Amino acid sequence: MSSPAPPKSPELSDKSKKYDRQIRLWGDHGQTLLETATICLVNVTAVGCEVAKGLVLPGIGGFTVADGSTVKEEDLGNNFFLDYSYLGKSKALACKQLLQELNPDANGDYVDESIDYILENRANFFESFDLVIASNLNEQSLLQLSNRLWESNVPFVYCRSLGMLGSIRLQLKEHCIVEAHPDNRQFDLRLEQPFEALRDHLESTEVTNKVPWLLVLYKFLKAWQTEHGAGRQAPGNYKEKTQLREAIGAAMQKDEENYEEAIKAVNTAFGAGLVPSSLKAIFEDDACEQLHKKSDVFWIMAKALKHFVVEENKGYLPLPGVLPDMTANTDSYIALQHIYRQQALHDADQVYHKCQEYLKQLSLPADSIDERTVRLLCREAAGLSVQRGTRIADEYEKNCRLLPLVEDNELQGNLTVYYFALRAYERFLSECGSIPGECTVEQDIGRLKTITSKMLNDLGLHVAISDDVLHEICRYGGAELHAVSAFIGGCAAQEVIKIITKQYKPIDNTFIYNAISTESVTLKL
């Protein structure tokens, strides 16, 4: 009789295997937000399809393609999501079916109607979506869609791809970011003012070459504090930090890695846990001070966090409870990790109970905010961020927001001129009903120049765009190059994921790309 098979080690689910790499970036909770989101793609263009591809592959919950046109031969040269079998058929249907093949997890739908028809006849169509993506619209359609989505508070991502040029514009009324994922995160260790459980552990544990460097650093920090007195908690300048490093080095025996790590940590181990200026601005925001029944849960949690910091924790943030890697024996590291985690849970619990008080005062359901969400907010408190955006339509009115782009009657920056050139292209589409350069390049250059001059004058900008740039716009004849569309589409999909998962900071708010010089710039308009 054969021996029984050994028990299998726990394995990842099929879904976790499928999305493993991206879950490492934005976590299970970010993936859940992505899988429950629905987006709408307006216009089946090469760049629009590339954005959708970048969302369907990682598992967007649902997508709807809206386009009232049919597939023509000229559409097949630059768009992999249209093929010959769909010639003469609905573009929206073709795009939906070919995108759906990429990932059966995403629920696809299509609407065989133009954006103009939808805006005129289906006023509430876009309100059911978490985000809308559109590309290569004429000026009139863009402004109408921009206004409709702004009124409905639906995030809007608008992409342009024309020849060797591309741009992305995000329209967000208010975007609250909990997990900003800063490049240089500082660990919050509280060595200067340890909480009770940590202080007891640090002072009762013998410092050997087997303990984490935290205990080594604390021992010498205590001596430094005694020497300097007068309430000094930690070294604050290069000279003082050098003295502390030298003191640790002088006591170090050979092969004591934890001492070496303590010396390296002197620069970064102190100063965390205080309220940064960005968080102070959130605490002082009217949305935080004046809660109401329609307040986003972010602001309810922010007010609870403020109460905890000011009233209960002597001006310090909740402890994140996250430790860096350290050379130490397993038991001593786990013991230290446990102390930090327990304090972090305690702090988050205080904030959670305050959230529940506010929910009760506002007559909102208690389950509007759960403990896991509060723990995440407390862990990331130092990096909380709020972006308040502007309407795309505001850029088309005479105001001072565009004035920084002009100095001494010259457009500032190499790429700013292309922003206005692309806008002039869209105005040409609206006013002339045709694509500049599609038939008569020389004649259209003159018309485009007239439109551009009037547009800039209407905006109160006393500048001119060179004939070379306008000639380049006409020379493209409305053509999309797939390589440029793929790049812009990939960048835009990344921004959409940031918005949906509320992680990482999206661009604020306009990105322009020139494929000829491979230059890009971000402008706040």
CB atoms within 10 A of CB 239: 8
Q: What pLDDT does 398 receive?
A: 74
Our measurement of the distance from residue 317's CA atom to the centroid of its chain's CA atoms, rounded to an integer in Å, reads 23
Q: What pLDDT does 253 receive?
A: 80
Q: Does residue 413 carry a pLDDT above 80?
A: no
Task: Locate 94 and state its tokens.
Answer: 């073709």
φ, ψ dihedrals at 227, nearest 5°: -65, -40
Task: Locate 184 and state its tokens.
Answer: 């240089």
Over residues 425-453, the pLDDT tens digits come to 888 888 888 888 777 777 888 888 888 88
- Please give the Cα distance from 52 to 96 (Å, whole number): 10
The Cα angle at residue 402 between residues 398 and 404, in degrees rounded to 5: 140
- Please give the Cα distance from 328 to 213 (Å, whole number): 8
- Please give the Cα distance from 116 to 139 (Å, whole number): 12
Q: What pLDDT does 6 receive?
A: 47
Instruction: Name the DSSP letter for residue 122.
Output: -
Over residues 465-483, the pLDDT tens digits come to 888 888 888 888 888 899 9
Over residues 190-237, the pLDDT tens digits come to 998 899 999 999 999 888 888 999 999 999 898 888 888 766 788 888
Report the pLDDT averaged over residues 250-278. 87
Q: Which domains does the chain have, with CATH numbers?
A: 14-173+481-523 (3.40.50.720), 190-271 (no CATH), 275-387 (no CATH), 401-476 (no CATH)
- C-beta separation of 257 from 209 below 8 A: yes
Model confidence at 304, pLDDT cuts 50, 70, 90, reads: very high
Who's near 326: CB < 8 A, 6+ residues apart?
A: 212, 213, 214, 258, 261, 333
Q: Is the dihedral of CA 341, 345, 351, 352 positive or negative?
A: positive
CB atoms within 10 A of CB 28: 11
Over residues 321-336, the pLDDT tens digits come to 999 988 888 999 999 9
Nearest to 410 by CA among 474, 472, 466, 451: 466
Task: Locate 245 and state its tokens.
Answer: 């490093």
3-state SS, 498-519, equals HHHHCECCCCCCEEEEECCCCE
The strand pairing partners of 512, in sequence order, are 167, 521
**Measured over all CA atoms, what is the biggest interatomic distance in the chain, rounded to whole angstroms?**
92
* DSSP 3-state of 82: coil
Who's near 346: CB < 8 A, 6+ residues apart?
A: none
Report the pLDDT averaged over residues 142-171. 94
Instruction: Name the DSSP letter for residue 53.
Output: H
